[in-house]
Amino acid sequence: MKFLRNVMGAWALVLSGMALCGLALSETKTLEAVTVTANPLGAADWIAPVMSLTGSELLLRTQPTLGETLSGLPGVSSTYFGPNASRPVIRGLDGDRVRVLQNSGASGDVSALSYDHAVSLEPMLVERIEVLRGPAALMYGGSAVGGVVNVLDNRIAREAMFEAGGGVLGKANAGWASGNREQSGAVMVETGTDRFALHVDAMSRNTQDVAVPKDQSCTRGGVTTVARSMCNSASQSWGGAVGGSVFFDQGYVGASLSTQGMSYGTVAEDQVRIGMLSSRLALEGELKDLRRSEALGGWLQSVRTQFSRNQYQHTEFAAEVPGTVFASTGNELRLEARHLKTAGWEGVLGMQLEFNEFSAVGSEAFAPFSQTRSQGLFVHEEYPTQWGRWSAGARVEQVQVESLGHPTLARFQAASRSFTPQSYALGALWRVASDWQLTSNLTWNERAPKDYELFANGTHVATNTIEIGQSNLGKEKSSNLDVGAAWKRGAHRAQVQVFVHEFSNFISLELSDASTELPTYTYTPVQARLTGMEASGNLRLLGLSQEQESGVWTHTRGTLDLGVRADTVRADNTSTGQALPRVAPMRVGAHLRWTQGPWSSRLGVDQVSAQDRVPTGQLATPGYQMWNAALSFREKRGRTQLQWFARLDNMSDVLAYSATSILTQTAPGKAPLPGRSVKLGLQVSF
């Protein structure tokens, strides 16, 4: 409580000062929207490899989980614990090596602790998702050696959306899918003037057991049935938020309160269900264009502060009997200051404070009660040149991880560890020609071990193993190199990235005892290397620009594009000569997209190779080829725009398994990827 009071007091002090300074300034000026994660300085091109999903592209990709929504992007796969729990895997790295953010702040769930724990973010309520591959985003946490996924909404508006007379805008989605009998809907409404903004959103989704291309047995209440569906994969989810912002001449202050609930089957066990509830309070404010204020030093251009408090809890039910309860409470305070150009350099510097409490009460608790405190200082600088620009970043943290033991389980002992991770990054962008650019990123990264890596001691039911932590673990250390080339000419584009992650100390969950009823795995420091490549491109085969007048499409000829993508990762435990587990195999994909007037159609195929580079004793995963298609139609009715769409997934109903899913090893054959499914939907914007 003392920490929380201090955080709230600091936030209130900063916010009050910003408001007073903002009221003292007179000129109204707004900043252009920028890609927050990859470009803190708003540059038009990116040094770090980044992808962004928004608009129609995001609408047509949206799945019930964040991991499956992003899976298939170059370099991105998912942990896939059935259709209800899935985190992104980036370049072969998952868990806490991939930082999942909500509006650049911590998401606050326990999805990294276990594969059956869902991410407490709802893709249906998202405005944009940014994926930054590689460890260059030191502003958001030194642990993100795999990358950062930033989920962005507009619950706290950063800019005025309306004139002084006010206005209203909104969006509503409705969807139905055949494969899991999904019925989903979401609505968002925003209103305000040039001085304030209000936001309200809500969503609901109900699904049944998902259809799969083979007969599956299912035992419930002592009765076994056989059907072509994944047992215990039904779900219900709901959520919503209210938020608002007040704008003054040189900035804004805002707040939002959101909640999300979910009840879903864990699929590894036929009668185990998780009931999850999370809530989030977010406060944010910014002062802009401070160069005219000598009282603030004249060196700063803008200052932004963010505070969030996340409360998460889920209960695991066995045959509707409550079992283990997992809970987490997290507070985060961020302060960022952008300075004016000095000796040619411009950049952002700041601090980040985090405090997290974790508990697990019940027979399946495999980690103790714990507290984790971290304080970090970071800087990101860029130096523009005639040929491109340089970037440099650094982050220093102080992390304390403390086991508080357990009130009922004597095997957990009180203990405490402290770490001082340091991470550095250097990047460059070279504009070789008007159509070409080269990029390179070199980073040195350190990550403090997580509480479960240090103190776990018990049966982890989701993975069907016994997990043991080591309290004497040191920092995870890696050096990383990323080199890329990109070409763009009109609608034609191509880009390729190659990378290598070299770990001198990689914290790996290694088999330590196979003689027990359940195999025992211990968090062990090893040396590791991950190398890989990602490529994507688009070729305009046929094209003509289109115009729209009064909602009527005036051209009848359209465009035809060929899109291609490919990625591969080789991950080795160089201490043992074995492959690292759960790494995606080589994947190649292509699609044709035809757009004519308000119509758009897409036909695509993904070829996924077999994954036979697995550790000794683990099962290989066969390859597969999967086809998909989509069709959409847009129309205007006055100021309202409607977008109808139909999506056909797994057209040939192929039987396939995910090599990055733990279920492929712990429950072979039990959780294939979903079979053929048609999704119909409508989005109304007004």
In this structure, what CATH number is given to the domain that contains residue 417? 2.40.170.20
Beta strands per DSSP E along 56-181? 76-78, 88-90, 98-102, 105-106, 128-133, 147-152, 167-177
Helix, strand, coil fractions of the chain, as percent rounded to 5: 10, 55, 35
**Whether the Cβ atoms of residue 429 and residue 484 lie closer than 8 Å to each other:** no
Taking residues 424-445, report their average pLDDT. Answer: 95
Q: What is the rounded distance in angstroms from the CA atom of residue 102 to the CA atom of residue 308?
A: 10
> In the prediction, which pLDDT does 105 show?
87
Q: What is the rounded distance in angstroms from the CA atom of residue 483 to the CA atom of residue 625?
A: 30
Q: What is the rounded distance in angstroms from the CA atom of residue 477 to the CA atom of residue 423?
A: 9
**Quick one: CA torsion of 426, 431, 437, 438, rounded to 10 degrees?**
-30
pLDDT digits (tens, 9 = 90+) for 343-398: 999 999 999 999 999 999 998 899 999 999 999 999 999 999 999 999 999 999 99
> In the prediction, which pLDDT does 94 show?
92
Whether 463 has a pLDDT exceeding 80, the answer reads yes
Mean residue pLDDT of the chain comes to 90
> In the prediction, which pLDDT does 544 show?
59
Name the token pair of 176. 């139905």
| Residue 481's pLDDT band (cuts 50, 70, 90) | very high
> In the prediction, which pLDDT does 46 show?
81
CB atoms closer than 10 angstroms to residue 564: 14
Higher-pLDDT residue of 291, 568: 568
Whether 126 has a pLDDT exceeding 50, the answer reads yes
Domain containing 413 equals 2-685
- The SS3 of residue 515 is coil
DSSP state of 408: S
Buried b (16+ CB within 10 A) or exposed e, 587-609: bbbebebbbbbbebbbbbbbebb
> In the prediction, which pLDDT does 36 show?
61
Whether 483 has a pLDDT exceeding 70, the answer reads yes
**Whether the Cβ atoms of residue 49 and residue 133 lie closer than 8 Å to each other:** yes
Whether 549 has a pLDDT exceeding 80, the answer reads no
pLDDT digits (tens, 9 = 90+) for 128-162: 999 988 777 788 877 788 899 999 999 999 999 99
pLDDT digits (tens, 9 = 90+) for 668-686: 999 999 999 999 999 999 9
Q: What is the rounded distance in angstroms from the CA atom of residue 529 to the CA atom of residue 573?
A: 7
> CA separation (Å) from 484 to 57, 115, 168, 381, 392?
24, 32, 43, 20, 17
Which phi and psi (to 5°) does residue 52 adopt?
-135, 130
Q: What is the rounded distance in angstroms from the CA atom of residue 160 to the CA atom of residue 170?
A: 15
Q: If you search the block for the tokens 């799945």, which residue do you land on?
A: 63
Half-sphere exposure in the Cβ direction for 270 (13 Å, CA): 14
First-to-last alpha carbon distance for the chain, in angstroms, is 44
Closest C-alpha among 122, 270, 136 to residue 202: 122
Q: What is the rounded distance in angstroms from the CA atom of residue 623 to the CA atom of residue 621?
A: 7
Closest C-alpha among 275, 274, 327 to residue 108: 327
Dmax of the chain from CA atoms? 76
> In the prediction, which pLDDT does 5 show?
43
pLDDT digits (tens, 9 = 90+) for 289-346: 887 665 555 688 999 999 999 999 999 999 999 999 999 999 999 999 999 899 999 9
| Residue 552's pLDDT band (cuts 50, 70, 90) | very low
DSSP state of 11: H
> In the prediction, which pLDDT does 296 show?
54
**Whether the Cβ atoms of residue 246 and residue 196 lie closer than 8 Å to each other:** yes
Q: What is the rounded distance in angstroms from the CA atom of residue 353 to the CA atom of residue 21?
A: 24
Q: Count of residues for the chain?
A: 686
CB atoms closer than 10 angstroms to residue 133: 31
**Whether the Cβ atoms of residue 218 and residue 225 lie closer than 8 Å to each other:** yes
Whether 555 has a pLDDT exceeding 80, the answer reads no
CB-based contacts of 515: which residues, under 8 Å, 6+ apart? Answer: none
Taking residues 524-550, report their average pLDDT. Answer: 83
Q: What percent of the chain has pLDDT over 90?
A: 78
- The SS3 of residue 57 is helix
> In the prediction, which pLDDT does 548 show?
47
**Whether the Cβ atoms of residue 198 and residue 188 lie closer than 8 Å to each other:** no
CB atoms closer than 10 angstroms to residue 127: 15
Q: What is the rounded distance in angstroms from the CA atom of residue 519 to the CA atom of residue 442?
A: 39
Q: Which of 1-10, 429-438, 601-610 has the lowest mean pLDDT?
A: 1-10
- The SS3 of residue 138 is helix
Whether 461 has a pLDDT exceeding 90, the answer reads no
> In the prediction, which pLDDT does 295 show?
54
Which phi and psi (to 5°) does residue 18 adopt?
-65, -45
pLDDT digits (tens, 9 = 90+) for 189-226: 999 999 999 999 999 999 999 999 999 999 998 899 99
CB-based contacts of 318: which residues, under 8 Å, 6+ apart? Answer: 269, 271, 272
Closest C-alpha among 152, 157, 149, 150 to residue 31: 157
Q: What is the rounded distance in angstroms from the CA atom of residue 649 to the CA atom of residue 71?
A: 14
Amino acid identity, position 597: G
Which phi and psi (to 5°) does residue 67 adopt?
-60, -45
Whether 270 has a pLDDT exceeding 50, the answer reads yes
> In the prediction, which pLDDT does 8 show?
38
Amino acid identity, position 278: S
**Whether the Cβ atoms of residue 87 and residue 119 lie closer than 8 Å to each other:** yes
Burial class (CB in 10 A: 0-12, 13-18, 19+), 91: buried
Burial class (CB in 10 A: 0-12, 13-18, 19+), 459: middle
Name the token pair of 638. 């006055």
- The SS3 of residue 244 is strand
Total domain count for the chain?
1
